[in-house]
Structure formats: structure tokens, C-alpha cells
Amino acid sequence: MPVAARSSDVQPVRAAPAAELGTPVEVGSRFHHVGALDGLRGLAFLTVLAYHLMPSRLPAAGHVGVDLFFALSGFLITVLLRSEQARSGRVSLRRFAGRRARRLFPALVAFLTAYLVLLALFGRQPWFGGVPGISGAAPPLSLAAGLHSAAGAVTYMLNLGIAYHWGWATGAPIGHLWSLSVEGQFYALWGPLVALMLSRRRLASWALPATIALGAGSVTATALLWHGGAGAGLVYFASFTRAQALLAGAAAGFAWRPGAFAGRRRRRAASAVATVSAGWLAVAVFAAGRPLPTWAATVELAMISVAAACLVLVVASPPTGRAAGGWFLGSAALRYVGRRSYALYLWHYVVLAWFRDEGALGSLLAVGISFALAEASWRLVERPAARWHRGRRTAGRAPEAVRR
């Protein structure tokens, strides 16, 4: 998840699992793991968790947390594709799609399978459905509704179903998976587009301006659809409006260079940018929910995306990142959460919904169960899947005599 000027500058690294299960960034001609980015991912999840625990007190926390996830994804995917182009002279879309599928589908399929089994057993119980943070009995959930939502999640169409009120997505019991659909659609379009831009030197020189222009288009779509707050639901779930955070992260990925913040003056400037960005995101998290005029909402949402991307860019640039809060983001606790953030995101929503009527103790228990399930997913699904693929790659490289 990184970059280089020429393929001769970058040496291939065999630590593929780090690329899939952690957050590596290239420094010079090698990939190195940047634990602070794992910590930033953990912080993003905790922000989303805080929203689902206290939606009325932190109404904007979910948006900020998801945009942090999006900015990270846009940055890391773009840098990874640039590095592959620099190393091998081309971007393999087949390998790119394979990496994404191996990273995302094992845990998702395990979660959906377990959830559907539980839905078949308990779906008509008043505690099973519902939304985290909103107490009261929920209407019975049918297995058909769960299957529709699962199909929407696997095909990356769930956010569109929710945004446009398609019948099968109404009351989606696992509606939190909408954000995975936005990312999946972005991967499907961004990989081929980056491969095209990097395939020609002239096109590559326009990659950053083109990415910024696309992001501006996404911001413009927000302005056109907000309608004084009447279109807030569509803006929140639609791919072309939420793409601004992914594209901001992608622009940071095109702008990133090893040693870009070398020198005391540049490091100070980068630290100042990171401080201002983190401060703005914190203000946005704790801002009271209120209807905003179109211009204010457009500016606020765009600033969240830009601040998230700036924070990612600085944190991904050691040693500047360590000086700009990387010491906090690199803490063992946040890195632990970040490494398991995908499974945590999959499980926490439904578990919080099950315990929504049990008060503070129920919420605490739900969080503990979510972490336990995420740990199980990490140890029993995600890591074994990565090891299995690594074993296949190793066997594929072995001499024929050895394989016999």
C-alpha cells in the first residue's frame, strides 16, 4: 500500500500477510508496517461504535468514522496499485480483485452464515431485530428479509437498495453493511481506472488532478441533492456522494512520496496539518445534530473527507507520523482494535441491537460479545484464509521436483 517512481526502485517483499491483514507502507524501496494506520482504523471503528451506542448524543460520529474508513481505503488501495505499477510495469486487475476478495469475503461469508442461522432460529423474537440505540420491541424478521439483505451485501448493492428504497432493502436487518457496498463499488471502478491512468506516462501525470476533479464532482452531487436536509438520506447512502472521502484518500495516495516531509520545517507543517485535521474531525464528532442549509452541509461533509485524508497522509509518513500523534495511534490497544476492525464492524451492529433494551450493562455486554466474536473471526477465519493463500503461493513457486 505504497509507491515508487520506477520499478527498479522497489524490491518485492514476501510478507504478503502483512499486506492483507495489516497496514504496510513503503519507505524508500521496501514495505514497512505502519502500526499507526492500524490504530487510525481502530479509532475509526470506535467512533462508529460510539455512534451506535449513543446515536442521539453523537449524531455525526457515524459519518466521521465511516469517512475515516473510506479515506484509509482510498489511500491504501491507490498506493498499493501505484507500487505494483512501479515494481512490475503494470497493474494486474486479476491480482487486485483476488486480494480484495480474499481479504473481504471469508469474514463476510462467515458472518452472514451465522447471522442467517440465528435469524432462522430467533427472527420472530422481539429482541432480535431493531436498531442499536433505539429501544422497544422490533417486528418479526423473516428469513427472506435476511436473505435479501445478505444478497445485497455480497453483491455490493445494499447501499443502493437503502438509498432508493428498493423493496427488498426496506428494513434491512443488517443495513450497516451498506458501507461495504460503497467500498466494493469503488474497488470495481477504481482499480481499472488507476490501471488505465498509470499505463501511459501522459495519463499518469494527470492522475492527481483527475482524482481531485472526481472528488469535486462528488461534493457537487452532495450540494445538488441535499435540498436543505430533505435529501440527507440519499446523500448519506449513495455511492456518488460518499465517494468524496474515498477519492480524497485516493488523492492523498497519489500525492504521497517517501520522505515527502523530510526536514524540520516540513515536519512541523505536516504536524500542524494533522493537528488541525484531527481537531476538525473531533469537532464534527461532537457537533450537535441539526438541520443545515445546503451550503453548510456541503462544506462540512467535504471538510470531513479532506481532514480524514490529510490525517491519513501524515500518519502514513514516518517519522513525521509519529510526531503528529502516531505515538497514540500506534498504541497496542488501538492497533489491536484496528487489526480486528473489519470483523468488529460486521458483528457489533446486530449484537448491540439484540441488547438494546438492557441498559448500560447490556451495552457493555454487547461490546464484549462483539469483541469476542471478532477475535474468533480473526483467529478462525481471516488469518487461516491468509495463511492458506500464502501456502498456495509458496507451493506454486516450488520447483517441480520439490512438488513431487
Q: What DSSP character marks residue 263? A: S
Q: Which residue has the cell 486487475?
A: 93
Residue boundaries of the structural domains of the chain:
7-394
pLDDT given for residue 138 in this prediction: 84
Determine contact, residues 256/191, Cβ cutoff 8 Å: no
pLDDT given for residue 384 in this prediction: 93
Residue 305 backbone dihedrals phi, psi, to 5 degrees: -65, -45
Determine contact, residues 343/377, Cβ cutoff 8 Å: yes
pLDDT given for residue 34 in this prediction: 80
- Write the Ramachandran bin of 165: left for phi over 0, alpha for psi from -120 to 50, otherwise beta: left
Q: What angle in degrees, to the nearest 10, is found between the helix axes of 178-198 and 93-122?
A: 170
Give per-residue burial for 240-270: e unless 16+ CB within 10 Å, then b: bbbbbbbbbbbbbbbbbebeebeeeeebeeb
Q: What angle in degrees, to the nearest 10, is found between the helix axes of 207-226 and 239-255?
A: 150
3-state secondary structure string across 293-332: CHHHHHHHHHHHHHHHHHHHHHHCCCCHHHHHHHHHHCCH
pLDDT given for residue 129 in this prediction: 84
Q: What's the average pLDDT block by block, 10 residues per block, for the chain (404 residues)?
A: 34 32 44 79 97 91 96 95 88 91 94 96 90 84 89 94 83 86 96 92 91 98 93 94 98 88 83 92 83 90 97 84 68 95 97 93 96 97 85 55 41
pLDDT given for residue 355 in this prediction: 94
